[in-house]
Each structure stands twice: as structure tokens, then as C-alpha cells.
Amino acid sequence: MKKLYGVIGSPISQSMSPLIHNDAFSNIGIDAHYHAFHVEKNHLEQAVIGMKAIGVEGFNVTIPHKEAIFPLLDKVDQGALQIGAVNTVVKVADQFVGYNTDGSGFVQALKEVSAIQGKNILIVGAGGAARAILYSLALESNVTITVCNRTEAKAASLIEEFSLTDICISITVEQAIERLCEFDIVVQTTSVGMFPSTNETPLPDGKFKKGAIVSDIIYNPLKTKLLRDAENQGATIQHGVKMFVYQAALAFEHWTGQFPDTKRLEQLVEEKLG
């Protein structure tokens, strides 16, 4: 019988997850379907109970349910627990188990363009996306991480909460701009530069290190002002489609044990974005 997967969230109509997962299922030859379910906050509990009742094998969780779903799951993986957000649910022996593949997806995508070990990394932002990315980057060996945020105190308390004060410090955005040339890898996790504010950058006039890797998690537009500036200075750039595809690929792997062709999926998403 065809297996059923999906994503729950609100809004959900723009989600590109069905495109990715249904392509991967048919490309690998798995008889399954992935559907986007519009679920409002007040229906979350019923939706999760219903997913189990109708035999859904696994699903993704997006805004606004990534935190609220915790008490509705049978188990939550340690990483998701620390990050404080679940984006992937896997059915294991009739139990729903929550995972977070956002941070690990980001790190796997970054490894396509750079080694991470021993690098001096700047994370811009201290919101939900930054939490997942900081958690996963800090698992890599021998990294030094600096987090800058409009509200620096939020960056500082995130570092404290994760007990990362030995490898991680917080600074202001102004200090980050001044010291930008020190960082091997720059990771932009805020919404600054997202459509329609495509001429905004969180690091105006910053001078990147020669040979720097600059990654922006935004994918609309594909090349943010930050990435255009970085590219003009000779940096290697990476846009947000990669993280999006890799978090999906890791979810797919949790469900099926198989890792899909990420290059093919990136191309699909880029075509769809135009």
C-alpha cells in the first residue's frame, strides 16, 4: 500500500517540500506520497492524533508548530530537545519521534563547499534558525564561533544556554562588521535581505576575509545583497536552497533509510523559484 508522508504548518500553500519529497520518492522508486496539510494552531493536537490514526509514516513540521508539537510526541531526540524545535517526525513502532534536521542539514550543506574543522565562524542572528545552526556547528571539532545579533544579549544568552562559552562569544553587529575580515566562514540566519527588502544587508560595508565562505539561509532572492557583496569581493557563496534541500534530505533519510540526490532536488527548487 502507498505510504503517506507530509508537512503540517500554516501558511503551507507555498511549501516546496511536496515537490522535493515526491520527486525523491519517485526517483528512488518508493511507493509513497507526501502532502502539505494546512493545520492551524488550535487544531495541532487533533492533527497529530489523526496522523497516527490514519497511519502516516512520518511528517515535517513547520511554522508555527515546531515548538508546540513537543508534548504531542512520544519521544524527542536530544538535539531537537536542546534546539527547542522539531521539524521532522518519524513513526517508529507506532511511536512518533521528533528530530531536528535544520542545523544538521545546514552543516552537511556547508561541507559541500568547505571543511569546517578548525575554522573561525561568524553566525549573524540569534533566532530559531541560528539556534539550530549554532547547536550543529558546535558539534564539529575545533571550531571557534562568534555570534552577532541586533539584540546582542540574545546571542549571549544562547551561548550560555548551550554551555558553549569555551568556544563561542557574542559581539555586536557593529563589531562584527569591523572584524569581518577575521572569519573563514560567515553564516547569515536573519530575515534581513529577504524579498522584498533585497537591497538590505545585515553587514553593510563589511570586508570579508580573502577566500571566505559566505552562506545565507535566505532563498528568496537566491542571491541576497550580502551574497552579492561577498561574491564581488571574491568570496565563495552559498544560498539558502542548499540548507532547505539538505534538511529535507535528512528527513527523507530518517523515513526511508535512503539519501536522495540533492543536486537534482536543488535544481528542481531553483527552477520553481525561477
Least separation in angstroms between CB 55 and ligand ATR: 31
Helices 262-273 and 241-256 pack at an angle, to 10 degrees, of 130
What are residue 211's phi and psi, to 5 degrees? 80, 10
What are residue 126's phi and psi, to 5 degrees? -145, 30
The site map against ligand ATR for 88-127 (x = CB under 6 A) is: -------------------------------------xxx
Cis peptide leading into residue 221 (ω within 30°): yes
- To the query of whether residue 66 is one of the catalytic residues in this protein, the response is yes
When binding is defined by CB under 6 A, the residue of 10, 120, 144, 191 that contacts ligand ATR is: 191
What contacts 195, CB < 8 A, 6 or more positions away? Answer: 220, 221
Decide whether 192 or 243 has the Cβ nearer to ligand ATR: 192
When binding is defined by CB under 6 A, the residue of 192, 218, 237, 269 that contacts ligand ATR is: 192
| 84 forms part of the interface with ligand ATR (CB under 6 A) | no
| 186 forms part of the interface with ligand ATR (CB under 6 A) | no
| 80 forms part of the interface with ligand ATR (CB under 6 A) | no
Least separation in angstroms between CB 176 and ligand ATR: 12
Decide whether 58 or 202 has the Cβ nearer to ligand ATR: 202
5 is in an annotated binding site: no
- Number of chain residues interacting with ligand ATR (CB under 6 A): 15
Of the residues 52, 66, 111, 272, which is catalytic?
66
Stretch that binds ligand ATR, among 48-56, 145-153, 234-242, 245-253 (CB under 6 A): 145-153
Least separation in angstroms between CB 63 and ligand ATR: 8
Quick one: residue 20, left, alpha or beta (phi over 0 = left, psi -120 to 50 = alpha)? alpha
| 150 forms part of the interface with ligand ATR (CB under 6 A) | yes
Catalytic residue positions, numbered: 66
Binding site for ligand ATR (CB under 6 A): 125-130, 149-151, 154, 189-192, 202
Query: Binding site residues, as ranges?
Result: 15-17, 62, 87, 102, 125-129, 149-154, 217, 219, 240, 247
